Structure 1
């Protein structure tokens, strides 16, 4: 299996990726990114990712170095060249190279970097579930933009691992937002609840898919804020994300959610996800 990268204008081996310390992504985290899932050699929900990429770029005022159609062609070719059947594509676009200064540089050209990784579906955690803790959400107020500024997420995830669990449920003054690397949903009395897709959470691609599947399954959905107390009283909880799909959350802060097992609504959504995408 090959391992080519796309860097700036061409497909190259890793040693051909000559990142410079003058790249604003290195200095300031001045860039955006997307992670695409590949199933059976096909890019999952590609258009939704592209739409989000375009919004992130527009809001942080980065001019995309290629059209969305050209970026799609680049990613498709990267999958083909690397003979990727199941895995992920990581792609980032930085504002470009310039001497270190806070204002946007007038002459910098945005830089696109993309590569693939072979990753299998996390079937054990999807089936058996994970455990989580809760932490105050200390991130900035534009969490809807998929930028390179991920240090708070990294610190939250490491705190979870240090405490022997797999994820963090973030909250702002007791109101649950999302997780360190995924969106979060609960079920109470067969109603699905999740935080509204505003500036406080990332508009997850798999989140949107799950809400679409819930609608098809006639599961009532409420996109409304809920509290940590309501979380603890929920019947079920699960996370959604490109690499985690639909994964049950069994406990939060050591307390079981519902029965402490994967619930019927979660399982129904998992089965529909697999059926819809022929997994």
Structure 2
């Protein structure tokens, strides 16, 4: 079983392959994606790779223009992993060059790691989340390696016994540290509109399609923490959390404290498509 890749070479995960002058290590100068594979089949891989290229373009990082060749290397990594259910992390940086803020003239670096599924905590019973100030930069639509504000907020939530931190900017909910946030009110799903302040979630795309299939209104508009607490249902989504119901926000119980009917219906439909 091979579970890692670096610049054309399949390696063991503990093998030393990243030079000191790698710009991902020095500056966080790169982008990444996480793709979930179910029974050997990558879920929404084209959407994930499209977002990876969009993030790279946004920071003027040139990935191999031959997208088919790049995709084939991802598929080969999945096959070589020997796993049928896994999370694949794909990372692209500006490459290896002496430390200098200016862009170097060098090939980009591509690395991948394959990891078995992590269990989804509270996937059916529902989880609790913490409200936290959104202290990130202005361009969160880029899935960059610069995750320190996310990490600090997630750690703050963990230390207080919460699954996730829900970020608030200018009095409005943006997203979680690694998830998209939704509320359900009067049988409509409401989520923050896409902008530079949030990431365009791949699972969000799936949820929007599922909502259409179930004839559930999908409304993109901003909402406040109070509106979240007073919602009929709350749930979050991500590649690794899938669809996770939220039953408590900052020690405030949501409705009757159990996952709601809309969230349950979405979860059931999601299970069918994966």
CA contact (8 A) 1:65 1:109 kept: no
Structure 1: gaps of 5 or more residues: none
1:12 CA displacement: 2.3
1:230 counterpart SS class: helix
Which runs of at least 4 in structure 1 moved beyond 4 Å after TM superposition?
A: none
Q: d(CA) in 2 for partners of 1:15 and 1:88?
A: 18
Change (3 A) 1:13 1:66: farther
1:211 counterpart SS class: helix
1:129 CA displacement: 1.1
1:187 counterpart SS class: strand
Q: d(CA) in 2 for partners of 1:259 and 1:108?
A: 57
Q: What does the per-residue CA deviation read over 1:180-232, in whole Å, with 9 as the maximum and x for residues that have no partner?
A: 11110000010100001111111010011001100111000110111111111
Match of 1:19 in 2: 18
Number of residue pairs matched by the alignment: 274
Q: d(CA) in 1 for partners of 2:109 and 2:270?
A: 34
Alignment of 1:261 onto 2:222: no
Match of 2:200 in 1: 203
CA contact (8 A) 1:86 1:120 kept: no
1:126 counterpart SS class: coil
CA contact (8 A) 2:210 2:269 kept: yes
Q: d(CA) in 1 for partners of 2:13 and 2:212?
A: 43
Structure 2: gaps of 5 or more residues: none
Where do residues 1-279 of structure 1 align in structure 2 (5 Å cutoff)?
A: 2-65=1-64, 67-105=66-104, 107-122=105-120, 125-277=122-274
1:168 CA displacement: 0.6
Q: d(CA) in 2 for partners of 1:78 and 1:58?
A: 24
Q: d(CA) in 2 for partners of 1:120 and 1:44?
A: 16
CA contact (8 A) 1:91 1:115 kept: yes
CA contact (8 A) 1:65 1:111 kept: no
1:17 CA displacement: 4.6
Q: d(CA) in 2 for partners of 1:218 and 1:174?
A: 30
